[in-house]
Amino acid sequence: MRFLRGTFADTTHRLGRRGFIALAGCASWTASVRAQGLPVIGYLGSESPERYASRLAAFREGLADAGYTEGRTVAIDYRWADGQYNRLPALAKELAGLPLTVIVAPGGAEVALAAKSATAKTPIVFEMGGDPVALGVVESLSRPGGNLTGVSSLSVEVSRKRLEFMREVRPTASRFAVALNPRSPTSDTQLKNLQAAALSLGVELVVLKASAEVEFDAMFTATRDEGAGGLVFSSDPYFAYRSQQLAALAVRHKVAAITQSRDFPLAGGLMSYGGDFSQSHRQAGRQAGRILKGEKASELPVQRVTKVELFINLKAAADLGITVPLSLLTSADQVIE
Amino acid sequence: MKRGAGPRRTSLFRKYFATLFAAVVAPLLIAGGSEAWLGYRDERARLNDILNAEARLAAVKIDDFLDGIREQLGWTVQLPWSEESGERHRLDALGLLRQVPAVESLTLVDAQGRERLFVSRIGLNRIDSRADLSLRPAVQGARANGAWFGPVRFQGGSEPFMMIAVAGNRSSVGVAIAEVNLKLIWEVISGIKVGRTGDAFVLDGPGRLIAHPDINLVLRADEAGQRPFQALRGAILDRPGEAATGRDVAGETVLAAMAPIPSVDWSVIVKQPLAEAFGPLYGALLRTAALLVAGALLAAGLAWWLAQRMIGPIRLLEDGATRIGAGQFDHRIELKTGDEFERLASRFNEMAAELRVSQERSQRIDRLKRFLAPQVAELVDRTGDDSVLDGRRVELVVVFCDLRGFTAFSVRADTDTVIMVLRRYYEVLERAVNAYEGTLIRFSGDGAMVLLNAPVSVPDPALRAVAMAGDMQRDVQELLAGWRALEGRLGFGVGIAMGPATVGGIGSEGRLDYTAVGNVVNLASRLCDNAQDNQILVDLVAAQAIGAASPLVPLEALDIKGLDQPVPVFAVGTHGTQPAK
């Protein structure tokens, strides 16, 4: 920090007293970074830096792929919603008011949409599951058109596959619970997909809704009470970022559950099937890097991360008295024993 | 003269300089130029080979990617379909999805062409739908050829996908149809590097971009944006087997070669920026150019030096010649070149020395002319020999003459008349002296002293002297006849003596006179003093030398001042009058 302090001192010296007072009034760190002439990325996170830690690491790798290092060749100005998604629009507006080179809005459609409504000028790189065209984020995948481009993973599209995998684990069950976050912009699409899948699989769905942590416990209780074979989580970042919590609940309630995030089986949950977030966040970093280099968001096609990974926790399966069929083990990208 | 010489000198220098310079630079240029041209041709051929090899290698890699998928698919069409084989097929199919990330979904079709299994990463799996797929081109194509590659489609207008179908070696094992995401070729294509910054890309039959290191260009699926790729392919197709130059998407000029993948009708094109490809050649050309420039500079320096060496002596010679021509005969041309120039310079110097000698001589002769009869002077001039003026002792005839009564005349007459009289008198004397090749030593007032036989020898000097004196008397008497009206006592007498005397140039540096010293001079002078008007007195030696050649009348011996005994005297003529004492 000696370097930064030096720059800061220089800046204040040059600005004089009035400048210093004004500077002290502002977010002084960002101001001093800007004084160094680095391009600045505005980073809008829906959760806390701790929950985003692995995603941030992947994002920084992506920036490094494009030749940027935080603090040295690029500065990042963070805004965190700490799980309160209704704060996103205000935070996005705040970022939109800053002279940023690009806003990165990763972690789902809600973040992307909040950023989109905040500015039509500053380029925005999103990272989300679901179809960005259907959600109205971009005009087309090949030519996004506006000031947004980004990365889309297949997480939302594959929620029906989760039901299929759960069915394979519990072939005898005829009822399955589905967890939805009603606040998610993709919940309707996912529910339709799941219902269609249930129809073709010949199973009944129990739809459970939760949009806050306090409602989690009730979902697991309801799954058991309804006699459902398992709990299938729809793709939703709110759920994904709380995989540890959900895994703990699943273990406590002895409920077979599948989510989109590998963090869930890694924390003791049964299974996960979804896009590889480290890949998608890394891609987002690369996209941001290309915009920093001067490319237009409207010209950068939306990148789809096609990799979808299946994680299975055999210990959880054993605890639940489940024998994982060979077909699942064959398909699994990682089997946790 | 300087003005005239200036341009000529410059042009000679230029000629020498140009010739010498051209002599060195022309071969250098020819060698450098031909080397550059041959180097370019070789480099072009080498690049052609390299790029073609790279293109073939890249095509093999892309082909391997497709072949890998085809081979993997082959494993799913090993087992014939039966009622019990469903689970085995399912596991094979799931294993394939796990193994081959590019395959997004897989359909297995039985011998009758019915769909028995569909597994997907995204959609729901289907088992035994028994949908009739037997008329699908994939099934028919695979059955006909063993393997079938469908056209490339861009899913969502962005991601390139292709169907690959493989039939087993027996009809009972059916056909496997895979939906392949071609985006994964990116890993192959981005691994291909040509040179330092060159890369490769893949176009399908219609010219759509399937794979490029910048995946965005593929995902953009933009027809207009892909024209440069098609143009590049067109340029290569125009001259098959040769690397072509063209522009890539960034507008950079590139050298590109192509190799086809016949099974899918794709073209793999490798390209390298022209600047990089020809980098070594440009380096070599630059070196050659630098050498040429250095060589030319050296040649110019050498030519300058040589021309200077040629022209320098010539200028020195020219300058020397100018100075010598201007009369600086003591100027010497300093040239130590050890060649013809030095020889020429020494010739010039010798010439200058000779000129100096001859100038000195001519100056001396010019001086001599003042007291030599013109004939004598001319003789000395012609022979170029002024040694006659050296002091020596010769047998000499001395003639003295003067006017009588001139002093009284000069007092009475006005100055102009005196001068006029003397001028006429001198003219008459000079004519006579010249006529007989005498040497007029001096006029002094109304007298004159004339030598014969010195400095130029003449035959019969005594006789000549008498004849000369006779002429003088005759002409002077004619003059006197006119002037006696002014002064009745005017007269003219001559004395001639012969004997040895010392003659030569006598005098200081500032004034040199040719004169004679000896008794004979005194004698002649006394004889003149004693001669009466219209009388010519001759001494004994002269009279003896004359002999009978001229009539002489012996007179009484005269007492001469400075001589002990009286001197015998003769008068010229047939009658004699005793001279006054």
Q: What is the pLDDT of residues B466-493, one digit of tens each?
A: 999 999 999 999 888 888 877 778 889 9
**B164-178, B373-387, B466-480, B526-540: least confidently modelled range:** B373-387
Q: Hey, are the CB atoms on A161 and B122 less than 8 Å from each other?
A: yes
Collapsing DSSP states into helix, strand and coil, what is residue B450? strand
Q: pLDDT at residue B247 above 90?
A: no
> Rounded distance, CA B242 to CA A265, Å?
57
pLDDT digits (tens, 9 = 90+) for A167-199: 999 999 999 999 999 988 889 999 999 999 999
For the domain that residue B483 is a member of, what is the CATH number?
Answer: 3.30.70.1230
Ramachandran class of B504: left when φ > 0, alpha when ψ lies in -120 to 50, beta otherwise: left
Which tokens sit at B389?
């003026």
* Minimal Cβ distance to A197: which of B94, B124, B181: B124
Is B221 near chain A, with CB under 8 Å? yes
| Cross-chain residue pair B98–A197, CB shorter than 8 Å | no
Query: How many structural domains does chain B have?
Result: 1
Between A243 and B434, whose confidence is greater? A243
Is the CB of B216 inside 8 Å of chain A's CB atoms?
yes
- Coil, strand or helix: which one is A125? strand
What per-residue confidence (pLDDT) applies to B327?
A: 82
Mean of all residue pLDDT scores within chain B: 85
**pLDDT at res. A26:** 42
Residue B509 has pLDDT above 80, yes or no: no
How many beta-carbon pairs under 8 angstroms link A with B?
A: 74
**pLDDT score, position A324:** 93
User: Is B158 an interface residue toward A (CB < 8 Å)?
Assistant: yes
**Fold assignment, A37-154+278-306:** Rossmann fold (3.40.50)
Q: A51-57, long-range: CB within 8 Å, 24+ apart, which pairs?
A: A51/A83, A51/A241, A52/A107, A52/A241, A54/A277, A54/A278, A55/A106, A55/A107, A55/A277, A55/A278, A55/A281, A56/A281, A57/A278
Question: CB of B63 within 8 A of CB of B312?
Answer: no
- Between CA A310 and CA A144 the distance in angstroms is 30
Which residues have CB under 8 Å from B260's CB, separation 6+? B59, B266, B267, B268
HEC-encoded secondary structure of A255-316: CCEEECCCHHHHCCCCEEEEECHHHHHHHHHHHHHHHHCCCCHHHCCCEEECCEEEEEEHHH
3-class secondary-structure state, position B533? coil
The whole-number pLDDT of residue B304 equals 85
Q: CATH topology of A37-154+278-306 equal to that of A159-276+309-336? A: yes
Positive/negative CA dihedral, B152, B153, B157, B160:
negative
| Chain A residues 288-317 with CB within 8 Å of chain B | 290, 299-304, 306-308
CA B286 to chain centre: 27
Beta bridge partners of A231: A177, A257
Which residues have CB under 8 Å from A288's CB, separation 6+?
A41, A59, A62, A63, A66, A102, A104, A125
Where helices occur in A97-158 by DSSP H, the ranges are 109-118
Segment A299-321, tens digit of pLDDT: 899 998 888 999 999 999 999 99
Asked whether residue B112 is assigned to any structural domain, the reply reads no
- B443 is a domain residue: yes
Q: Which residue of B has its CA nearest to A144?
A: B220
Candidates B90, B94, B216; nearest CB to A300: B216
Q: In this model, does residue B506 exceed pLDDT 60? A: yes
Sign of CA pseudo-dihedral A49, A54, A55, A60 = positive
**Is 60 exceeded by the pLDDT of residue A5?**
no
In the three-class reduction of DSSP (H, G, I as helix; E, B as strand; rest coil), residue B287 is classed as: helix
The pLDDT of A157-162, averaged and rounded, is 92
B245 three-class SS: strand
pLDDT of amino acid A19: 41
DSSP-derived pairing of the beta strands B447-452 and B439-444: antiparallel
Q: How far is CA A28 from CA A10, A20, A42, B188, in A?
A: 13, 10, 16, 47
* pLDDT score at A17: 43
Greater pLDDT, B60 or B239 = B60
Q: Does B250 contact chain A (CB < 8 Å)?
A: no
Q: Give the per-residue pLDDT at A79.
A: 94
Instruction: Give the closest-approach CA distance of B154 to chain A in angstroms.
Output: 10
Percent of chain A with pLDDT over 90: 70
d(C-alpha A58, C-alpha A327), whole Å:
31
Within-domain flag for B90: no
Give domain limits for chain A: 1-36, 37-154+278-306, 159-276+309-336
**Chain B contacts of A133, Cβ < 8 Å?**
156
Tracing tokens 């002297």 back to the chain, one arrives at B465
Is A159-276+309-336 assigned to CATH 3.40.50.2300? yes
> Which chain B residue shows the shortest CA-CA distance from A133?
B156
| Token pair recorded at residue B540 | 């004994």
CB contact under 8 A, B216 and A197: no
Among B88-97, B277-286, B378-387, which range has the highest average pLDDT? B88-97
Query: Of A21, A80, A8, whose CA–CA distance to A45 is shortest?
Result: A80
pLDDT, position B83 = 79
Closest to A181 in 3D by CA, of A152, A156, A154, A153: A156
**Residue A330: which of B95, B101, B121 has the nearest Cβ?**
B95
Flag the least confident range among B23-32, B388-397, B506-515.
B506-515
Answer whether B213's CB lies under 8 Å from B199's CB. Answer: yes
- The residue among A10 and A225 whose pLDDT is bigger is A225
Instruction: Give pLDDT, residue B59.
Output: 93
Residue B410 structural domain:
374-572
The answer, yes or no, to whether residue B6 has pLDDT greater than 50, is: no
Compare CB distances from A331 to B98, B216, B219 and report the shortest one's residue. B98
Dihedral sign for Cα atoms in the order A264, A266, A267, A270: positive
Buried b (16+ CB within 10 A) or exposed e, B487-505: beebbbbbbbbbbebbbbb
CA atoms within 13 A of residue B491's CA, in its CB half-sphere: 14
**Number of helices and strands in chain B (H, E):** 15, 19
What pairs with residue B397 in β-bridges?
B452, B498
Residue in chain A lying closest to B158 (CA): A142
Confidence of residue B511 (pLDDT cuts 50, 70, 90): low
Q: What is the mean pLDDT of residues A265-273?
A: 95
Is B60 part of the contact surface with chain A (CB cutoff 8 Å)?
Answer: no
Taking CB atoms and an 8 Å limit, are B122 and A302 in contact across chains? no
Q: Percentage of chain B with pLDDT > 70?
A: 91
> Is A201 close to B124, i.e. CB distance below 8 A?
yes
Average pLDDT of the segment spanning A29-54? 80
Kindly state whether B215 is in contact with chain A, defined as any CB-CB distance less than 8 angstroms: yes
Is residue B519 one of the residues assigned to a domain?
Answer: yes
Q: Which of B159, B426, B396, B205 is nearest to A154 (CA)?
A: B159
Among chain A residues, the shortest Cα distance to B96 is held by A331
pLDDT computed for residue A8 by the predictor: 41
B376-426 pLDDT per residue, tens: 666 666 666 666 667 888 899 999 999 988 888 888 888 888 888 889 999
Within B405-455, strands assigned E span 439-444, 447-452
Is this complex scored with an ipTM above 0.95? no
In a domain, B513, yes or no: yes
Cα angle, residue B386 at apex, residues B382 and B390 outer, rounded to 5°: 155
Helical ranges in B100-240 per DSSP H: 137-145, 185-189, 215-220, 227-238
- What pLDDT, on a 0 to 100 scale, did the predictor assign at position B386? 62
Q: Does A66 touch chain B (CB under 8 A)?
A: no
Separation of alpha carbons B135 and B255, rounded Å:
45
The pLDDT, as a whole number, for residue A22 is 40
Q: What average pLDDT does chain A have?
A: 87
CB-based contact, B212 to chain A, within 8 Å: no
Inter-chain CB proximity B158 and A141 less than 8 Å: yes
Least confidently predicted of B168-177, B328-337, B543-552: B328-337
CB contact, 8 Å: B95 with chain A? yes
Element (H, E) at B474: helix B461-483
Distance CA A128, CA A149 (A): 11
Cα of A276 to nearest chain B Cα, Å? 13
Binary contact (A142, B154; C-beta < 8 A): yes
Integer Cα distance of B471 and B463 in angstroms: 12
A201 contacts on B by Cβ (under 8 Å): 124
Residues 131-150 of A with CB under 8 A from B: 133, 140-143
**Which residues, other chains included, contact B578 with Cβ-Cβ below 8 Å and sequence gap of 6+?**
B555, B556
Beta-sheet strands, E only, within chain A: 40-45, 75-80, 102-106, 124-129, 148-153, 175-180, 204-209, 231-233, 257-259, 271-275, 303-305, 308-313, 334-336
- Is the CB of A327 less than 8 angstroms away from the CB of B91? yes
A160 contact B CB<8A:
yes
